[in-house]
Amino acid sequence: MSENIDTTKAVEIADGVYWIGFYDKGAGFHCNPYLIVDGDEAVLIEPGSVPHFPMVLSKLCRLIPFEKITKILVSHQDPDLCAGIPKFEELVYGCGGKLEIVTHSRASVLIAHYGIRSPFYQVDQNDWKLTLKSGRELTFIFSPYLHFPGAFMTYDSKTKILFSGDLFGAFSFDWNLYANEYYTEAMKAFHENYMPGNRILRAAMDKLDSFDISMIASQHGSIINRDVKKYIDTLRDLDCGDYVFTPGQD
Amino acid sequence: MTYRDLIELVVQRQMGIVGLWKTLETLNDVGLAVGDDYRLVGDGGYDDLERLVTRFNEKYGLVTVMGCKIVVGRKAREGNLALPKILK
């Protein structure tokens, strides 16, 4: 890591929006949980796995009282972002708070198997948006099959951050909080392995054209805080997934 | 398309995945080098490609192989080049 940023603490990436992950030196696959603090409520985004829970907790507890978290938002059902949800529920309910799990209905039926006790707020059943108490709106952008049939991205109208789930993620031993000049290659490597095909990827990238995006905060890899369009165009044109039809490439 | 092209493709990918310095160190481990433009110095062949990817796997694990396997495979097919087992 070459940046001069103290990632042992939460990092405020925009007004009231925090990265609360950690730098795992031995991992080629970093996970990035985020927190939006909005007045007297907070949204925890892609909170993480069971092994990551203590590190995420150590940052979270310095930012807000747990009962302030009213929503946990997860872009799909994978354990690296969801398995820790029951532990966060214990904290929030233990402090007298209440939670909703914000996700797609296709993911909710699977997430239930982690032993979730909170009700679901299904984005596809709620006009693809969520309005917080302050009036701040989160817009959900459906990105089916990238890489889950119910995957979606989240656009925060206040900060113009796109929380992109697995999209725009990367393999990264040489991890930086913010994408450096080599990030494009690491991002392409990840998408070639996990995304199903160019037509599907292109369709999702085309949807982003109508959004004014200041920053892309993905669940893996680094945060893209400049040249956003360059990264969208890279994915729009990326060949991925076709290896399954090639003998010897499975 | 040549093995030299495939090696340069691996180098480009690893600069993103493990970073510039670790990539240069790993090249050095297997007796390869790149110039200031990150182009391979001298020729590279099948054995060089195999040794380089194997070394990345030994030092940094499977993610480095996954990260270049698909794109190298695609380019190798275009040039009708045989690939070492680690990239199949």
Transcribe chain A into DSSP letters. Answer: --S---TTS-EEEETTEEE-----TT-SS-B--EEEEETTEEEEES---TTTHHHHHHHHTTTS-GGGEEEEE-SS--HHHHTTHHHHHHHHHHTT---EEEE-HHHHHHHGGGT--SPEEEGGGTTTEEE-TTS-EEEEEE-TTSSSTT-EEEEETTT-EEEEETTT----SS--SB--TTHHHHHHHHHHHH---HHHHHHHHHHHTTS--SEEEESBS-BB-S-HHHHHHHHHT---SGGGGSTT--
Distance from CA of B15 to the nearest CA of A (A): 6
- Which H, E and C letters describe A164-225, residue by residue? EECCCCCCCCCCCCECCCCHHHHHHHHHHHHCCCHHHHHHHHHHHCCCCCCEEEECECCEEC
Q: Which of A174, A184, A242 sits opposite B19 (nearest CB)?
A: A174
Res A242: pLDDT: 63
For chain A, which domains are there? 11-245 (3.60.15.10)
Res A160: pLDDT: 98
Q: For the residues A124-141, what does the mean pLDDT come to?
A: 98
Whether A248 shows a pLDDT value over 80: the answer reads no
Residue-wise pLDDT for B21-69, tens only, equals 999 999 999 999 999 888 999 889 999 999 999 999 999 999 999 999 9
pLDDT, averaged across chain A? 94
- A184 to B16: CB separation less than 8 angstroms, yes or no: yes
Residue-wise pLDDT for A204-219, tens only, equals 999 999 999 999 999 9
Which of B60, B73, B30 is CA-nearest to residue A249? B73
Tokens standing for residue B57: 């796997």
- A186 to B67: CB separation less than 8 angstroms, yes or no: yes
Q: What percent of chain A has pLDDT over 90?
A: 87
Residue-wise pLDDT for A26-71, tens only, equals 777 889 999 999 999 999 999 999 999 999 999 999 999 999 999 9
- B17 to A249: CB separation less than 8 angstroms, yes or no: no
Q: For the residues A78-100, what does the mean pLDDT come to?
A: 96
- Cα(A161)–Cα(A34) distance, integer angstroms: 11
- A171 to B67: CB separation less than 8 angstroms, yes or no: yes
Whether A250 shows a pLDDT value over 60: the answer reads no
- Cα(B38)–Cα(A201) distance, integer angstroms: 30
Whether A17 shows a pLDDT value over 90: the answer reads yes
> If you measure CA to CA, which chain B residue comes closest to A28?
B63
Which of A52-56, A159-163, A193-197 reaches the highest mean pLDDT? A159-163
Inform me whether the C-beta atom of residue A186 falls under 8 Å from chain B C-beta atoms: yes
Q: Which residues pair with A44 in a beta bridge?
A: A35, A72
Res A244: pLDDT: 66
Res A219: pLDDT: 96
